[in-house]
Amino acid sequence: MRGPHNIIRLIRTGATLERTGAMKVVLDAFDAGPVLRITVRTLVWPFRWLGYKGDVTSPPAVRALTALGPAYIKFGQVLSTRPDVVGDELAVQLRVLQDKLPPFSMRDAKATLQRELGQSFDQLFTSFSEPVAAASLAQVHRATLAESGEDVAVKILRPGIEKAFRKDIDAFYFAARAIEFLSPASRRLRPMDVITHFEGVVMGELDLRLESAAAAEFAANTADDTGFAVPQIRWHLSGRRVMTLDWAEGTNIGLNDALDAAGHDRRVLAARVLELFLNHALRDGYFHGDMHQGNLKVSANGDIIAYDFGIMGRIDEYTRRVYAEILFGFIRKDYQRVAEVHFEAGYVPADRDVDEFARALRAVGEPIFGMDASRISMARLLSYLFEVTERFGMETRTELILLQRTMVVVEGVARSLDPHMNIWQVAKPVVENYIKESIGPKALLRDLVKTAQVLARFGPQLPRIAEDALIRQNNPPPPPKPQRRIARLSWMALGGVIVGLAWVLTALA
């Protein structure tokens, strides 16, 4: 499905933006210059008739992304948390994409429930509300259990969502392949790997059994986190297309006026959101990968409640240490150490100059730390750092894509709560504590114990492994022979082509 026919899909993307008026909104949001505006509009305008019309009652950007499909909606959700990037007006428009999309019918919802759970709808629930939230992939209903009278949230996938998403992701694959072909320099960024990673993450959202498992693991990891809560899963009422979990009352974290009216301190909430994310990423290596406003609520007692566990991130212990050292180095303005960590981790090729790289990092960090606290941004730092690492040949690390993207989203949520928040001041104690626990003498002893446990487990096999290695070293296997066969087949193929051409020429003569 990833053939040239996807060109139509990509052309239609630009055409839809133009037809809905979103193209002008996007260009305005990014302060595009006159040359870029004229070029883009000139290229897209002839195809305007191919664009989707969308819901004319929606704002232009929302109208375009909703018409284009779930993958585009996901992209809009991320941008909605970044008013510093797209502007306040567009960010407010895009926030509608998080949980206020048109719902599918109650008849389809009930049919899916009965089909997935194998029981009559009336046997399961005494009440079942209209959708309380409708997002790109699923919608949520509030229901009362017949067996206990407890209130629960029931999440149901949209009908046909798998096919719709596949259509979008196929177009993305085609675009990535075209970019790699037309711009060899872009291969350093591994566009195909990026799309593959994105596909894997979102496809996990399309099996709610996996999301249920993720929620259960996340709840276990964060059980002792003060001021944070994860609803419990009702496993007997969950399946591939349905997930049931405890209902938790709260105020959407994106509604500042409602939070103020409820007496919550938004500055405390902003700091807690960032601290929680860093703790989950560094301490547990398992974090919520979609922490936008639509997936967070604040309970009456001030706890932050997390929902929607379809996108979860996992990073190994070594990568966590590297990430923490890089953050900590920037916090202390120790650019030499930040550079050394990049080289030690293999992120930058060993043939580059570490001192030159450290100097380039200083040029990234100093202007940012010279800013007013309200303007200091981890997202901006990541953007500048990307430019520097590109010059030094650093390849895109696919395992860090979700971590970096979520960092951008979390910062956007925190900024929306407290625009004057000092990101680095909040992050410093969390990172310092992790460094102390993971890189100090205690961590060294812990690593040695783990190494000893591994050696003990494989101890009986070590002599045989060593012996096999020595035998292979002293008696290397004979070189493979496929080259000779391939060469012979190549000559045969070439001969066939020559004979075919001769036959054609003879026929023409």
Which residues does the annotation mark as catalytic?
Answer: 290
| 188 and 396 Cβ atoms separated by less than 8 Å | yes
The residue to which tokens 């969950």 are assigned: 238
Nearest C-alpha neighbor of 41 from the set 29, 57, 25, 63: 25
Task: Locate 370 and state its tokens.
Answer: 């010279």
Residue 441, number of CB atoms within 10 A of its CB: 8
Residue with tokens 């090729």: 349
Task: Show the tokens assigned to 443.
Answer: 């961590």
Dig out the tokens for 181 from the structure.
């072909």
**Residue 374, C-beta contacts closer than 8 angstroms, at least 6 positions apart:** 419, 420, 421, 422
DSSP letter string, 453-497: HHHHHHGGGHHHHHHHHHHHHHSPPPPP-HHHHHHHHHHHHHHHH
How far, in Å, CA of 176 to CA of 186, rounded? 10
Q: For 134-149, give one letter per residue: b (16+ CB within 10 A) or e.
A: bbbbbbbbbbbbeeee
List the structure tokens of 440. Answer: 């100090």
For residues 254 and 414, what is the distance between their CA atoms, to the nearest angstrom? 10
Beta bridge partners of 229: 305
Tell me the HSE value of 361 on the side-chain side, using a 13 A CA sphere. 25
Residue 121 exposure: Cα atoms within 13 Å on the Cβ side: 15
Burial code of 158-175, b = ≥16 C-beta within 10 A, e = fewer?
beebeebbbebbbbbbbb
CA angle 251, 257, 258 (to 5 degrees): 25
What angle separates helix 70-79 from helix 161-182, to the nearest 10 degrees? Answer: 70
- How far the first Cα of the chain sits from its last, in Å, is 42
- H helix intervals, 95-245: 96-99, 106-117, 121-124, 161-182, 191-205, 208-221
| 3-state class (DSSP) for residue 231 | coil
Cβ atoms 378, 423 nearer than 8 A: yes
